[in-house]
Amino acid sequence: MMTFRRLLVAGLLSASVLWSVPSSAGVAEGKKVFDANKCAGCHQVEGPAKEKTIKDQMAKKGPELWYAGSKFKAGFLEKWLAAPQPVRPLAYNSLTEKNRGDHPRLSPKDASEAASYLMSLKSAEVKPLGIPAAESPKGRILFLKKQSCYGCHSMRVRGKMAGGLSGPSFVAASERLNPDWVYAYLKNPKVFKPVKMMPVYSGILSEAEMKELASYIGSLN
Ligand code: HEC
Ligand code: HEC
């Protein structure tokens, strides 16, 4: 009996070791993939944000990744890096249909390692609140009617693309974005993006409304 239990404990211990080793090894490997592909030439991976002018912002072609682990879902990064698709419909800081070929496309192995590395880059500003992705009716009304979010962000409505084009698309945001990050971003956008084109909603929306919006965006397919 004792031996069996000891075996069981040993088995569990080695299972948990096996479980944790590949992910931390992936971080170091992913950093190598990142360096080898010169990803930092287009992406900021060191926070906090230092950009003060639009020129600073334009110095990097791609969006900041220094808080990628707080913003994205791991599965999304892995998939996207192997097959990059436009997220931002306008030319600035984006892959559009015209420059679709611009982004490095990684092998599945490199994509998985780079995703582990990016998921290790977190911002203390994003608290793990566990805001659920949910089709919040309040969030929906705020997004579509009470505020102008829909005028700048696209989404799928009954299978069709709809909404504005000046901000990143929220099509499949449920696979891409962590609702806790969306909330932190709405609450204190300057931390993540000091030079912004999007209006600042702190003082306009209550914290509860921001949470409803984060839930709603996190549920979009
Ligand atoms: C030539 C510049 C350039 C290089 C080099 C580059 N990127 Fe990008 N990256 C971009 C642009 C531009 C976007 C924005 C795409 C969009 O929103 O349509 C982007 C977007 C991303 C995104 C985020 C997608 C999202 O949903 O917001 C990730 C993650 C990313 N790149 C990782 C990488 C990695 C890893 C490498 C190196 C293997 C890399 N990038 C190299 C320009 C670049
Ligand atoms: C005037 C256009 C505009 C309006 C209105 C607007 N946004 Fe944005 N939004 C943007 C732009 C542009 C960005 C990209 C970051 C930047 O440059 O500020 C962005 C970025 C975002 C992001 C980060 C997305 C990402 O993947 O990085 C979220 C989340 C977001 N907006 C939510 C909202 C919500 C919620 C509302 C309504 C309360 C809203 N936005 C209203 C233009 C807008």
pLDDT for residue 102: 78
The protein residue with its alpha carbon nearest to ligand 1, atom 16, reads: 94
What is residue 16's predicted lDDT score, i.e. its pLDDT?
A: 43
User: Which residue among 43, 142, 144, 153 is best mutated to probe the pocket of ligand 2, counting the most ligand atoms within 8 A of its Cβ?
Assistant: 153
> Residue with the nearest Cα to atom 28 of ligand 2?
182
Select from 142, 126, 218 the least CA-distant residue to 181. Answer: 126
How far is 42 from 59, CA to CA, in rounded Å? 8
37 lines ligand 1 (CB under 6 A): yes
pLDDT < 50 positions in the chain: 1-2, 8-22
d(CA 198, CA 189): 9
Closest residue by Cα to residue 29 from 21, 18, 41? 21
Q: Which of 82, 72, 63, 65 is nearest to 196 (CA)?
A: 63
CA distance 210 to 12: 41
* Predicted local distance difference test score (pLDDT) of residue 18: 46
* Residue 20 confidence (pLDDT): 43
| Residue 1: per-residue pLDDT | 44
